[in-house]
Structure 1
Amino acid sequence: MNEKPKILITDDSEINRALLKEILGDGYDYLEAEDGAAAVELMRQRTDISLLLLDLMMPGMDGFDVLRVMKYHAWLDEIPVIVISATEDTANIERAYDLGVTDYIRRPFERIMVLRRVKNVLMLYAKQKRLTRLVTDQVYEKEHNSVLMISILSHVVEFRNSESGLHVLHIRTLTDLLLHRLVQKTDRYQLDESDIARISTASALHDIGKIVIPEEILNKPGRLTAEEFAIIKNHTVAGAQMLQDLGQAIAQDEPLLQVAHAICRWHHERWDGNGYPDRLKGDEIPIAAQVVALADVYDALTSERCYKHAYDHDTALRMILNGECGAFNPLLLDCLQESSEQLRAELNLSEWDRGFRQESHRLSEEILHREALPRENHSQLLLEQEKERTDFYAAQCGGIRFDYDLLAGSVTVYDYHAEPMQQKTVTDFAQGRGLGFLNEQDRRKLSKAISRATPEAPDVVLPVMVQRDGKPHLHRMALHTIWSGAGVRRCVNVLGQLTDEQHRVEHQAELLTALDPEEDPAHFLRRLQGIFDVVRLVDPGHRKVLTLDSDGILTEKPGHCHMVWNRDTRCENCISAKAYARKTILNKIEFKDEEAYFVISKYIEVGGRGCMLEMVTRLTDGRWLDMGGHRLLLDRCDGMERSAFVDPLTGAYTRRYFDKFLASGEMSGGVAMIDVDQFKAVNDSFGHLVGDEALKTVAEAMQNCLRQTDILIRYGGDEFLLLMPQNCPDGVESVIRRVQNAVQAARVPSHPELRLSVSIGGVCDVQPLTEAIRQADVRMYRNKENG
C-alpha cells in the first residue's frame, strides 16, 4: 500500500488550517504548524514532507523568513511551496517567487483551484524526482563501469609487476586526499570536485606502460643495470602512447584520457627538473602528474616489493620531506605533512587488509589446485585459531569486554581486572545484573546508544564511569551492533569494549601543568604531539605557522595559520592574537566540518622570539566526560578532583567548572540565563527535599533537549547558565522554546501535581562572555516580570 503524500500546513489561524484540510480531503496526511519557527523545526526533523502550504503574514517568524531558511538549507529542492495568503501586494508576491515558491494562491479562493494546484505541484515534483533519479542512475552506471574497466586493466599490470593488489587503491585514495588538502590551501590550480574525481580515477592508469616491460626486469629482486633502468623508464612514454592511440580511436578531447595521458607520461618528473622522460620543471608538470608522483613514491616506500622491505609511515614521510626521493612541489609537501595522521590510518588499515587478503589467496589457491573446497576440519581449525587470537589480544588490551545477546536477554562479561576464575560471568541483562559496573545514568545512555544504532552506522563510542578501587574511573566504551540479515533488520547482538582512560587524562593534566619550553623546545613539542591532535607554533601577527629547524631556530612555513580551519582569511575569533598581545594563555571551542575542537593558545619564547603554542584536541574519545549529552573537559589542571566540576544534585556543571575552564575563554554563539519560577514557594510549601527533587527534575528536562556541544551550568541556587557554541539567533530561540516546553511537561516524581516553569533570557554573539551573561541576565528578569 502506497503511503499518502504528507502536506505541512503553516498558518497562525487554526480555522484556516482546518479549512484547507477539509478542502483537500483524506487523500493526504497532514502536519500543522502555527508559526514559521514550528514549521522550520518540523522540516528539520522530518524527511517525508511532500508539500508546504505557507501563509506569509504570521507573528514571529513569518513566511518570508521560512522561505529564506529553506533556501539556505536547499530544502526547496525537495519540498515545493505553495503560498496561500490574503495579501494582494504585487511586491510581496514577486518577493515570494524570488525566494523560490512554486505557486501562489490568493484568498479568498475557489475550492477546485486549491485541489488542482496542489495535485499538479505534487505530480510535477514527483516526475522531476523520477527523472533526476533516472539520470543519476545512468550517470552512476556509466562512471561505475568506466572505473571498473580501468581497475581491471591496472590490476592486470600489477599482476605482471608482482605488486600488491592494493597499490591502485592506495594511489587513488592518496591522490584524492592530497588534492582535497591542496584546494583548501590554494586556488592556484582551479580544481573542482569533478577535476579531483577525474584525476583520482585516471591515477589508476599511471603505470599502464609497464605492460610492455619484460617481466624479468620488472620483478628483478636486485639492483637494475643502467640498460635495464633505461628500459624501465620507457614505461612512461609507452603508456602515454597507448592512451594517445586510444584517444585517436575514440575521442581525442575526452577529459579522462587527457588527464590519464598527462599522468602516464609525467608522473616521474620532479619539481627541480631532474625527472624523466622530458625533464619538466616546476609547474610545467601538470598538477595531476605532480600529485600522483607524490602518492606513488609514498606508497612505494610503505609497500613491500620484490627488491625491498616496506618502510614505516614516519620513515617514509621523513625520506620524502628530506628530498631523498627527489624534489616535489613545496605546497604538496605541506599537504602530505598535514595529512600525516590520515595517511597513517590508511596504512594501518592496509596492513590488516593485506593479512586478510593473503589468507584469502591461500584458500583460493587450495580451491583452484584441488578443484574442491578446503577440508571442513581445516576451516574449523582456522576458526578456532582465530578465536584464540582474538581472546589473546582482548586479554592484552585489558579493561572489560561484553557480549549482549538481545534475543536471549543475557550478557556475557569478561572483566580482565578481576581474578582469573572470576573474569567471565553470564547474567540476565534485563534484570539489571548484567552490567553492574555501570551506574544507572550510564546504563540509560547505553540503551539509548543501542536504540539509535543502525545497520549502516553500527558503531558507537561513549565515555562512562566505572568504579575501580573504590573510585570512579573514566572509561571509553566502544560498541559494535550486529544485525539480522534477512527481512526486517533487527539488532541481535551488541559487542562492547571498555578501556580505562583515567591514566591518560591524568598524564595529560601533569604535562599541561609542567610546561617548561625553555629547557628543550624540540623535545617538549614532541611530548605534546603524543597527546594533542594538533601541536604547532604560530606567529599571529603575520598569520604564519612556525617550525623549529635542526639548530633550534624558528622559520616560517608556506601558507597561513588559519588554513587548518578551512578558512580563507584570519579567524574572526583568533585567541592567539589576543593571548600574544597579553603574553598569556587563552582557550576556546572551535568548529570545523561539524566537529568540535578545544583550542589552547599559550604565549612562549623560543630562542628569544615570542610566539604562540597552539594545542588542539578534538572533543571526543574520552577527552570530554558525557553527562546526559553535555560535555565536560577533563584536563584536571592543578590537581583538582572531578567532583568539583559536576553538581551532584542536578548533573549540570558547577560554577567552579565555569570559572576554571570557560570564563576566560572565547566563544561565539548563544548564551542564556535560566531561573526556576516560584522556587522559593516550592521550598516553603513542600520542604527542601522536595525542592531538591524539583531542581533535579528541571535539570534533567533541560539536558534532554540540548545538543551535545551545549553546556549547562548550575550558576547558583536555582539559576542555570546555558552556553550554546556556534548557534545562530533562530537556533537560540528554538532551544529556549524547547527548554521551556520540556520543563512545563516534566513532573516531580513524589509530587506530580507540582507544575514547574522557567524564565529565560538569551543573547547571541555578544563578546566578551561576561557581557553576554550580563545581558542575558537582564533579559531573563525582564521576561520574568512580564510573565
Structure 2
Amino acid sequence: MKTKAKIMIVDDAEMNREILMVILGDEYEYVQAENGRQAIHILQQDMNIDLMLLDINMPEMNGFQVLDRMNTFHWINDIPVIMISSEEKKDVIERAYILGAEDYISRPFDAFIVRRRVQNILNLYANQKRLMQMVADQIYEKEENNNLLIGILSHVVEFRNSESGEHILHIRTATELLLRRLVQKTDEYHLSESDIVMITTASALHDIGKISIPESILNKPGKLTREEFSIIKTHTTIGADIINQMTTKMEKPLLRIAGEICRWHHERWDGHGYPDGLIGEQIPIAAQVVALADVYDALTSKRCYKDAYDHETALDMILAGECGAFNPLLLKCLQDIAPRLRMDAQYDAGDSPYRSEADRLTTEIMNKTEIPSSERSQYMLESMQERMNFFASLKGGIQFDYDSVSRLVNVTNWDEPPQYRYTVKNVADTNCFTCLSQKDFHRLKDALDATTPENREFSMSIMMPKENEYEWCDLRVHSLWSDLSPEHYIGAVGQLVRPQEVSADIPILDGLAESDTADGMAVKAIVDQLRKIFDIVRLVDPTANAVLELDHNGTLRKTDQHCAAFWETGGNCTNCISTRALSQKTMLNKLEFTKTDMYYVVSKYLCINGTPCVMEMLSKMNEGRWIDANGTRFLLDKSRGESRKLFLDPLTATYSRRYFETYLTHMEGMECVEIIDVNQFKQVNDTYGHPAGDVVLRDIAAAIKSCIRSSDILVRYGGDEFLLLFPKMSENDMAEKNKRIKAAVANIVFTEYPTLHLSVSIGGVCGVHPIMEAIRQADKRMYENKRTS
C-alpha cells in the first residue's frame, strides 16, 4: 500500500480549506491550521509534512512571516510551499518566490491547475529526496573508504620512520588551521570547503615516498652524509610517482592534490627548496601549506636525531627564516593560529603518563617471546595510537591515565597553573577518591568493569565538590585492552569536565543590571516582551519556593504556587540554579525536564523595588538530542555539519541505525534504555503482504513518538525492532510510559485491514552502563515480556 502524502493547508477561512481538500480528493492526508502561528506550532511538533499550501493574508502571523520563520529554521529546504491568495500584484508574487515558495496559485481556484501543481511539486521533492539519500550514502561510503586507505598508507610510513601517530595528526591539524585562516585573509586562492577537506586529507600522504628509503638512513641518529641526504630527498619524487602511477589520477582531484604535495612540500618560497627549485606561487598552495605545517611539527617533535623545541622557539626559528623561506601571507596565518598550536603543544607535553604506560606495554610485549618481532612494534603502535586518538578529541578539563597493573592514576588538570597541573594518585590508597561519593565510585567501577574490547567507552555524570557545594560534572572514559591479555582491561584514559555556565544573550535584559534596583512597572513591561520570546516567564523567590507576580501597579506579591511544582518532582529541585543566581547575583542557565518535555532555563537575579528575586525564562526544546544524563550538554542533529537526512529511516521517519552507531559514544549517559518489538510481525507480512508491514511499522513508530518527549531518541534498530533512549527518567515513569505506548499501539486502526490488531513487547532498564550492556539487558527483558504476554 502506498503511503499517503501529508499536506498542510494554512488559511484563516475554513471554506477555503474545505474547497482545497475537495479539489485534491482523498488520496492525501491533511493537516489544517487557521493562521501562521498555529502552522509554526504544528511544525515544531511534527516536521513530517510533504507540502504546505499557504495563504498570505491571515491574522496573528501572515504567510510571509511564516516563510521568514521557515527560512530561519531551515524548514523551507525540507518542506515545499505553494502560496494561495487572491492577491495578484507582481511585487507580492515576487516576494513569495524570493522567500522560497515553490509555486503560486491564485483564487478562485482552477481544480485542474491545483491538482496538477500539487502533484508536480510532490513528485519533484520525492525525487530530490531519493537522489539526496543515494548521494549521501555514496559520499558517506566513499569518505570512509578514502580515510581508511589513506590512514593505512600513512601509518606504514610512520612505522618505518619510527614516528608515532602524532605526526600525521599534527600535520592534518596544522594544515586545516592554516587553510581556514588563509581563506579568511584572502580569496586569492579560491579555496572551497571541499578543497580544504581534500588538502587536509591528502596531507597525510606527504611522506609516502619514504617507503622506498632504507631504514638505516631514515632512522639514523646522527647527521646524514651528503650522499645519504641526496637519497632522502628522493622521497619527494618517489611519492609523486606512486601517486601519478594511479590510472585514475586525472579523474580524482584528491590524487592530483596528493601528488602535488608529495613532490613539492620541500620547495621554498625563494627557490632554494627541492626537487625542482620552484619559486613563489609556482609552488601549488596545497604544497606550500603542508610544507609549513611539516616544518613546524618537525621542530616541535622529538626525532631520532634531535630533541623537540618548544612552541615559542619553533615559531621564532620559522619566522626568522632559519628553516627556509615561506609565503609571507602563510607566515602571518601561522602567527594567527599560534595560540591554538601552543595549546596543542602544551597538551602533548602532558602526555608523559601515556608514554609511561606505553613503556610498560612495551615490556609486556617484548616478554612475549612467541610473538614475531615484526608484530611487537605494531602492538606498541596500536596502543599508542588508541590513547592518541582519545586525547586528541579532548581539550581542557581534568584528564587522567590509569594503569591497572601499577594501580596508579596520572592526572592532568588543565585548569591549574603549570606547577600544580600534574599529580599521581594511587588507587590502592583509600583517600584517593574522597571527592567521590560511594555511590558514584561504585557506578564508575561497575561501568569500567562492564566495558569490553568491543565496547570500550562510556560517559556518565557524577557529583563533584565545588567550594561548599556540589555540581554535576561530565565524565568520559575509554578502557584500554591488550591483545595479549584479553581477559581484562589493562587501564583506562578519561576526562572530567565541569559544566560551563554561560550567560544567555537576551538584549531586552540589557537594561536590568544585577546591582541595581529595578522599577516594578519597567520589569512588568519587560516580562510582557519576554513572553513573546520564551514559552514561560515568571518571577520566583527560591528561598521560599514561591512564585511571585507583579500587580497592575508594579508591586511584587507572593502567590500560593510552589515554584518547583512545574517540574513535577514532588519536592524541591535537585539542581536549582535560581537559588545560586540569587546568592551570586548573576544570570545562569541549564537544561531541565518535565515528564513530557525538555526546557532551556535562564535564571536572572533581579532586585525589584528593593526586593531580591529571580526571573526564570523557559523555552521548550524541540531539536535537542542528549549526550549525557543530567542535562549539562546536548547534541544537535547538525552539530557535525552532516545533513539530518543521513540519519533518518525513510519508512518510519525515526532515526536510523547509522545515527545510533555514529553517535554511540555520546549516548553513553542515557539513563533509561528500552527495546520495543512488534509482536507477530512476520505473520502480518505473511497474511497481508509486505506493503501492509510497511504501514504497520510506520504507524507504530508514529504511535511511539506520540507518547515520548522531544528529547527522547527513537531509533529503528532492526527490521521490526525499535530502540528508545531516555536521557532522564525514573523506573516508575518508564513503566507509565510503557503503558501509554502499548495503549497507543493497540488503538491503531487500519481501515484497509479491519481484522489487523497490533501489540508490542517492551523491555527496559535504568542506570545500566555502558549502553551496549543496557541494550543487552533490555533486549533480554523484552523477550521475557514477549513470553509472558
Structure 2 vs 1, CA of residues 461 and 298 (structure 1 numbering), >3 Å: closer, same or farther? farther
List runs of 5+ in structure 2 lacking aligned partners.
377-382, 384-399, 417-425, 444-454, 479-493, 520-528, 540-547, 567-576, 579-586, 593-597, 618-789
Q: Counterpart of 1:338?
A: 336
Superimposed CA distance per residue, residues 491-512 of structure 1 (whole angstroms, 9 cap, x where no aligned partner)? xxxx99587xxxxxxxxxxxxx
Give, in angstroms, the shift of residue 261 of structure 1.
Answer: 3.0
The separation in 1 between residues aligned to 2:462 and 2:107, in whole angstroms, is 53
The separation in 1 between residues aligned to 2:358 and 2:7, in whole angstroms, is 52
Q: Counterpart of 2:227?
A: 227
Is the 1:631–1:711 contact (alpha carbons within 8 Å) kept by the matching residues of 2? no
Q: Counterpart of 1:162?
A: 162
Superimposed CA distance per residue, residues 325-382 of structure 1 (whole angstroms, 9 cap, x where no aligned partner)? 33323322332233234334545369488778777888788889459x99xxxx9xxx
Question: 514, 528, 532: which is aligned to 1:654?
Answer: 514
The separation in 1 between residues aligned to 2:146 and 2:308, in whole angstroms, is 32
Question: 278, 284, 305: which is aligned to 1:307?
Answer: 305
SS of equivalent to 1:290: helix
Give, in angstroms, the shift of residue 290 of structure 1.
Answer: 1.3
Tell me whether 208-217 or 705-714 shows the greater mean CA deviation. Answer: 705-714
Alignment of 1:461-500 (within 5 A): 466=466, 468=468, 477-480=473-476
Tell me whether 333-342 or 7-16 shows the greater mean CA deviation. Answer: 7-16
Structure 2 vs 1, CA of residues 66 and 364 (structure 1 numbering), >3 Å: closer, same or farther? farther
Q: Counterpart of 1:642?
A: none
Give, in angstroms, the shift of residue 254 of structure 1.
Answer: 5.0
The separation in 2 between residues aligned to 1:324 and 1:45, in whole angstroms, is 62
Structure 2 vs 1, CA of residues 122 and 157 (structure 1 numbering), >3 Å: closer, same or farther? same
Give, in angstroms, the shift of residue 79 of structure 1.
Answer: 1.1
The separation in 2 between residues aligned to 1:722 and 1:683, in whole angstroms, is 15
Alignment of 1:270-419 (within 5 A): 270-347=268-345, 348=347, 351=351, 369-370=370-371, 386=403, 392-393=409-410
Structure 2 vs 1, CA of residues 156 and 82 (structure 1 numbering), >3 Å: closer, same or farther? same
Alignment of 1:535-574 (within 5 A): none
What amino acid is the match of 2:473? Answer: M
Give, in angstroms, the shift of residue 202 of structure 1.
Answer: 2.3
The separation in 1 between residues aligned to 2:369 and 2:46, in whole angstroms, is 52
Give, in angstroms, the shift of residue 171 of structure 1.
Answer: 1.8
Superimposed CA distance per residue, residues 403-429 of structure 1 (whole angstroms, 9 cap, x where no aligned partner)? xxxxxxxxxxx9xxx988976644699
What amino acid is the match of 1:285? Answer: I
Give, in angstroms, the shift of residue 296 of structure 1.
Answer: 0.9
Q: Counterpart of 1:258?
A: 256
Structure 2 vs 1, CA of residues 212 and 39 (structure 1 numbering), >3 Å: closer, same or farther? same
Is the 2:605–2:612 contact (alpha carbons within 8 Å) kept by the matching residues of 1? no
What amino acid is the match of 2:500? Answer: D
Structure 2 vs 1, CA of residues 317 and 388 (structure 1 numbering), >3 Å: closer, same or farther? farther
Alignment of 1:196-235 (within 5 A): 196-235=196-235
Give, in angstroms, the shift of residue 263 of structure 1.
Answer: 1.7
The separation in 1 between residues aligned to 2:17 and 2:405, in whole angstroms, is 65
Structure 2 vs 1, CA of residues 21 and 713 (structure 1 numbering), >3 Å: closer, same or farther? farther
Equivalent pairs: percent with the same residue?
46
Tell me whether 356-365 or 342-351 shows the greater mean CA deviation. Answer: 356-365
Alignment of 1:51-130 (within 5 A): 51-59=51-59, 61-71=61-71, 74-89=74-89, 92-93=92-93, 95-109=95-109, 118=118, 121-130=121-130
Q: Counterpart of 2:500?
A: 621
Is the 2:7–2:28 contact (alpha carbons within 8 Å) kept by the matching residues of 1? yes
The separation in 2 between residues aligned to 1:67 and 1:94, in whole angstroms, is 13
Structure 2 vs 1, CA of residues 366 and 12 (structure 1 numbering), >3 Å: closer, same or farther? farther
Is the 1:36–1:58 contact (alpha carbons within 8 Å) kept by the matching residues of 2? yes
The separation in 1 between residues aligned to 2:135 and 2:3, in whole angstroms, is 25
Structure 2 vs 1, CA of residues 70 and 394 (structure 1 numbering), >3 Å: closer, same or farther? same
Is the 2:268–2:279 contact (alpha carbons within 8 Å) kept by the matching residues of 1? yes
SS of equivalent to 2:516: helix
Is the 2:401–2:411 contact (alpha carbons within 8 Å) kept by the matching residues of 1? no
The separation in 1 between residues aligned to 2:611 and 2:99, in whole angstroms, is 45
SS of equivalent to 1:240: helix
Is the 1:462–1:477 contact (alpha carbons within 8 Å) kept by the matching residues of 2? yes
Give, in angstroms, the shift of residue 718 of structure 1.
Answer: 9.1
Structure 2 vs 1, CA of residues 688 and 219 (structure 1 numbering), >3 Å: closer, same or farther? closer
The separation in 2 between residues aligned to 1:186 and 1:11, in whole angstroms, is 49
The separation in 2 between residues aligned to 1:183 and 1:710, in whole angstroms, is 40
Superimposed CA distance per residue, residues 477-532 of structure 1 (whole angstroms, 9 cap, x where no aligned partner)? 335599xxxxxxxxxxxx99587xxxxxxxxxxxxxxxxxxxxxxxxxxxxxxxxx
The separation in 2 between residues aligned to 1:212 and 1:320, in whole angstroms, is 29
SS of equivalent to 1:84: strand
What amino acid is the match of 1:239? Answer: G
Is the 2:206–2:258 contact (alpha carbons within 8 Å) kept by the matching residues of 1? yes
Is the 1:57–1:63 contact (alpha carbons within 8 Å) kept by the matching residues of 2? yes
The separation in 2 between residues aligned to 1:95 and 1:189, in whole angstroms, is 36
Structure 2 vs 1, CA of residues 200 and 689 (structure 1 numbering), >3 Å: closer, same or farther? closer
Give, in angstroms, the shift of residue 267 of structure 1.
Answer: 1.2
Is the 2:517–2:610 contact (alpha carbons within 8 Å) kept by the matching residues of 1? no
Give, in angstroms, the shift of residue 54 of structure 1.
Answer: 1.0
The separation in 1 between residues aligned to 2:106 and 2:612, in whole angstroms, is 49
Structure 2 vs 1, CA of residues 678 and 250 (structure 1 numbering), >3 Å: closer, same or farther? closer
What amino acid is the match of 1:621? Answer: Q
Q: Counterpart of 1:183?
A: 183
What amino acid is the match of 1:302? Answer: T
Over the aligned positions, Cα root-mean-square deviation in angstroms equals 5.9
User: Higher relative CO (CA 8 A, sep ≥ 6), structure 1 or 2?
Assistant: 2
Give, in angstroms, the shift of residue 291 of structure 1.
Answer: 0.7
Is the 1:653–1:714 contact (alpha carbons within 8 Å) kept by the matching residues of 2? no
Superimposed CA distance per residue, residues 600-659 of structure 1 (whole angstroms, 9 cap, x where no aligned partner)? xxxxxxxxxxxxxxxxxxxx835x5x6xx7899xxxxxxxxxxxx9xxxxxx96343999
The separation in 2 between residues aligned to 1:496 and 1:60, in whole angstroms, is 49
Q: Counterpart of 1:193?
A: 193
Structure 1 residue 134 corresponds to structure 2 residue 134: yes
Superimposed CA distance per residue, residues 533-574 of structure 1 (whole angstroms, 9 cap, x where no aligned partner)? xxxxxxxxxxxxxxxxxxxxxxxxxxxxxxxxxxxxxxxxxx
The separation in 2 between residues aligned to 1:283 and 1:395, in whole angstroms, is 44
Superimposed CA distance per residue, residues 34-87 of structure 1 (whole angstroms, 9 cap, x where no aligned partner)? 433554565567654432221112235422343345456653321111223343
Is the 2:147–2:201 contact (alpha carbons within 8 Å) kept by the matching residues of 1? yes
Superimposed CA distance per residue, residues 582-602 of structure 1 (whole angstroms, 9 cap, x where no aligned partner)? xxxxxxxxxxxxxxxxxxxxx
Give, in angstroms, the shift of residue 134 of structure 1.
Answer: 1.0
SS of equivalent to 1:656: coil
The separation in 2 between residues aligned to 1:17 and 1:269, in whole angstroms, is 70
Structure 2 vs 1, CA of residues 462 and 185 (structure 1 numbering), >3 Å: closer, same or farther? farther
What amino acid is the match of 1:186? Answer: T
Give, in angstroms, the shift of residue 196 of structure 1.
Answer: 1.4
What amino acid is the match of 2:145? Answer: N
What amino acid is the match of 1:52? Answer: M
Is the 1:630–1:707 contact (alpha carbons within 8 Å) kept by the matching residues of 2? no
SS of equivalent to 1:339: helix
Structure 2 vs 1, CA of residues 16 and 365 (structure 1 numbering), >3 Å: closer, same or farther? farther
The separation in 1 between residues aligned to 2:307 and 2:164, in whole angstroms, is 13
Q: Counterpart of 2:714?
A: none
The separation in 2 between residues aligned to 1:219 and 1:496, in whole angstroms, is 35
Tell me whether 170-179 or 269-278 shows the greater mean CA deviation. Answer: 269-278
Per the normalisation by structure 2, the TM-score is 0.51
List runs of 5+ in structure 1 lacking aligned partners.
400-413, 435-454, 483-494, 500-619, 633-644, 646-651, 660-668, 725-787
The separation in 1 between residues aligned to 2:54 and 2:364, in whole angstroms, is 63
Give, in angstroms, the shift of residue 252 of structure 1.
Answer: 4.8
Structure 2 vs 1, CA of residues 8 and 139 (structure 1 numbering), >3 Å: closer, same or farther? same
